A = this chain, B = another copy of it.
Amino acid sequence: MCHACVIDKVKTGMLSRRDLFRGGAAAGVAAVAAGAMSARPALAQSSGKVVDLTHAYDGDFPTFDGNPGILYSSQYDHDPDGYKIWELTIYEHTGTHIDAPLHFAPDGASVAELEPENLMCPLCVVDITGKAADDANAMVEAEDIEAWVSANGAIPEGACVAMHSGWGAKVGEASFRNTPDGALAFPGFAKSATDMLLDMGAACIGVDTLSLDPGNSADFAVHYSWLPAGRYGIENLANLDQLPATGATVFVGAPKHKQGTGGPARVLAVT
């Protein structure tokens, strides 16, 4: 089933978004479900090297809306309680975190409903550091996916396709989020690329920036198409420069609170 057909069926209600994500009737979805197993060859060749794609974060970590993403309050402490526990206030979309379909689709899968098989993915790293150095709002376009495929072979079904823009190294700088005059500015995916990845059966896209869409997006075109189509995203990835373009496997430690729209995650890659 072509991407346009899937989107059309979603729009007309012939295929629910939730069924779509769960691997129901559509051929494209069946491909995703089957594709999750394609991590096996990568695992079988694993060197066992672990790369942590997760930023450590606290209330100083940059957020999309500029407010602290986590607040700490002591519930118990070593003195006098003998042990320590924090009461945390977490605004779900902070730190290295998941965007579940429910984030942008009222009937989309919650983060607790993501299929476990889609949390272990062949990882494809698309390097756009060159154009991102010239344009803070650079995008992974369809032609970047085509170039990646020409160089590395097909995008595996069930893959996580991650944008490496170089922004992961800027996380302590104002330029991670803004231009000098305060406008949001960071790289992201173009819908031309994610429409192609929908057809190819990717399970997930990831970015090393604050949003799947670039900072200057006026319409959140990727959020409003990728997530309602039943796929998920990861924002604020770290250390993508330490990974090859292809061959790694990523384990996505998505949180599992019921009805969650996403949330802070631990993301580990194995090469």
Contact = CB atoms under 8 A, between A and B. Distances in A.
A262 to B, nearest CB: 8
Contacts of A246: none
A208 to B, nearest CB: 15
A58 B70 CA distance: 19
Given A40-B46, A48-B40, A253-B253, A263 B88 contact: yes
Interface residues of A, number: 65
Interface string A258-271: 11110111111010
B254 A120 contact: no
Given A56-B112, A268-B251, A50 B257 contact: no
B263 A256 contact: no
A87 interface: yes
Nearest to A254: B266
The complex is assembled from copies of this chain, and their number is: 2
Contact of A270 (B45, B120, B256): B120
Interface string A24-55: 00000000000011011001111110111011
Interface string A231-271: 00000000000000000000111111111110111111010
A266 B250 CA distance: 14
A189 to B, nearest CB: 17
Contacts of A86: 92, 259-261
Contacts of A265: 253, 266
Which residue of A40, A43, A50, A257 has the most chain B CB atoms within 10 A of its CB atom?
A: A257
A266 B256 contact: yes
A166 to B, nearest CB: 21
B88 A103 contact: no
Nearest to A77: B106
Contact of A72 (B88, B116, B259): B259
A149 B117 CA distance: 31
A238 to B, nearest CB: 10
Given A117-B50, A120-B270, A253-B268, A259 B58 contact: yes
Nearest to A120: B50
7 contacts: A36-B50, A44-B46, A85-B93, A86-B259, A87-B91, A253-B265, A256-B266
Given A37-B48, A88-B89, 5 more contacts: A44-B45, A56-B257, A57-B256, A75-B91, A256-B266
Interface of A: 36-37, 39-40, 43-48, 50-52, 54-58, 70, 72, 75, 78, 82-93, 95-96, 102-104, 106, 112, 116-117, 119-120, 220, 223, 251-261, 263-268, 270
